[in-house]
Amino acid sequence: MVTEHRAVAALRVFLVVLFGVLVVFQTLSLPGQFAYMAQQSPEDAHLRWPATIVTVFWVLCVQVVIVATWQLLSLVKSDRIFTEASLKWVDAIVWAIAAAWVVLVGVFLWVGFNADDPGAPLLLFLLTVGVTVLGLLMVVMRALLRQATALRTDMEAVI
């Protein structure tokens, strides 16, 4: 039990740090990087804003996952993880991953059809497969949570 509480506390610290770093990326680093790239390669300057919007959107999806994870940790701490309240936060994670995946597939297809080098499409393919695995894993975990919640509810009804 002590280990669980320490793990939850440590995870919360790292979630706050990760969220803060993502805000810096979202507001400063990514827009600045794409502005610099537009200056260095004027022929690709038209990609500055689409690239900025897409990457900021992906960061936003990760931030949704962080907030939902924080809320799930609150439910773990109060021993309410196996309740219907937890399912909405898991749904938020699944939908954030799905939204990021849809945009990633769009980027993968656009880059794949316009690339003259196989490096970027292969990297995007790898990312697409990874996000697909993560999304499907979350769907399975959601099903397990639903089953555990139903079992706990049944057990409480018997007792």
Question: Given pLDDT bands bounded at 50, 70 and 90, which one contains residue 154?
Answer: confident
Asked if 94 and 142 count as a contact pair (C-beta separation under 8 A), the reply is yes
Q: Determine the 3-state secondary structure of 127 from DSSP.
A: helix
For residue 44, the one-letter residue type is D
pLDDT (mean) for 82-102: 96
The pTM of the full predicted model, rounded to 2 decimals, is: 0.91
What is the arithmetic mean of pLDDT over 126-132? 98
Q: Long-range contacts made by residues 137-144, C-beta under 8 angstroms, separation at least 24? A: 138/90, 138/93, 138/94, 138/97, 139/94, 141/90, 142/87, 142/90, 142/91, 142/94
Under 8 Å CB-to-CB from 130, ≥6 apart: which residues?
Answer: none
Predicted local confidence at residue 2, as pLDDT: 64
Query: Which amino acid is present at 142?
Result: R
Closest among 90, 124, 92, 123 to 106, alpha carbons compared: 124
Residue 15 above 60 pLDDT? yes
4 pLDDT more than 90: no
Q: Which residue has the tokens 């990312």?
A: 127
The pLDDT tens digits for 21-60 are: 999 999 999 999 999 999 999 998 999 999 999 999 999 9
- Separation of alpha carbons 73 and 67, rounded Å: 10
Distances from the Cα of 157 to the Cαs of 78, 84, 152, 153, in angstroms? Answer: 20, 15, 9, 6
- C-alpha 102/C-alpha 55 separation (Å) is 13
